[in-house]
Copies of this chain bind each other. A is one copy, B any other.
């Protein structure tokens, strides 16, 4: 087991990465304020892991409240969040009851937001069960639900007590979810570590074959970079925005197609191709660089072409991005491979040509 520390002005918490961690409840027990937890999970993860975690905790005298939600990004909304509050109140959960997120990014984001709001703030723990959640969403305290007009528009910065990333849980992960997680891993290479990008190119086959050593290294390196960036800028006043590489385009894809059509990681994959293409149009990346990005994303089993919404629709969806300031969309682009920058606004002609480029596929908009 490797343990990373995320250090913030007001708090500090461990990120444990390793094998067989779900059964090591001694990692969790010291963080509980009272011996009561609510385990928030979904109907896909529950049959796999809920009973195991529950039994381990109850063996140590911890009362557990199970909350099983429907699976999928299309359920990351207020209606589903309210199911958590209903269950907590019906079971007399208290302000010191710990919420445990046992699931992927959707469960983690919703559980964290529920914890942020329940009685104005209950503690919570992340046990990510997908690669995407392990390398990205479970770390850093961004919690949220979607609004029909924009992804993650309603949420809070709210840090967990602890993150437990058990690599063994990835064994049951569907292929498509694995690729979605690799998208966020590629993001770290692209935005800040060219060596890691090279490593990913060399080891993509191993990652997709779930080689445990390769996977653990990729999770570790991603979490290290995330912890470092979030440690510098918890509330995204500056550098943290770079973690949104591919996300302004990606969120527009998710909202435009309807949440749940594409996985978040898939949208980020295609979004990073658009970000690379825009960076080429700015004169920063070469055609070879863009081809390299595209090849890596394709090798991960991710889509490299985005749906064709038309420029107006693209702009409308991107206009609901949290990085918009005074009406100007702040894009995360690549100055070079391994170095992301914020670009406030792009020329209309550049965007127009981007949305008529080979990176856009009209067929996809009619999925």
Q: Which residues of A contact B (CB under 8 A)?
A: 34, 78, 82, 85-86, 89-90, 92, 94-96, 116-121, 142-144, 147, 149-150, 152-157, 235-236, 319-320, 322, 324-327
**Closest residue of chain B to A113, judged by CB?**
B117
Residues of chain B lying within 8 A (CB to CB) of residue A142: 120
Highest count of chain B CB atoms <10 Å: which of A94, A96, A147? A94
Contact A118-B153, Cβ < 8 Å, known A78-B82, A147-B85, A326-B94: yes
Q: Is the CB of B120 within 8 A of A89?
A: no
Residue contact B156 to A120, C-beta cutoff 8 Å: yes
Q: Are B325 and A149 in contact (CB under 8 A)?
A: no
Bound complex: CA A236 to CA B325 (Å): 34
Which B residue sits closest to A155, measured CB to CB?
A: B120
**Contacting residues, chain B, for A34 (C-beta < 8 A):** 325-326
* Pairs across A and B, CB under 8 Å, 16 listed: A34-B326, A78-B82, A85-B154, A89-B147, A89-B150, A92-B324, A94-B325, A95-B325, A96-B326, A117-B117, A118-B153, A119-B155, A120-B143, A120-B156, A120-B235, A120-B322
What 8 pairs across the A-B complex have the smallest Cβ distances? A89-B149, A119-B322, A117-B154, A120-B155, A94-B324, A120-B157, A34-B326, A95-B322
Cβ contacts under 8 Å, A324 to chain B = 92, 94-95
CA distance A95 to B235 in the complex (A): 12
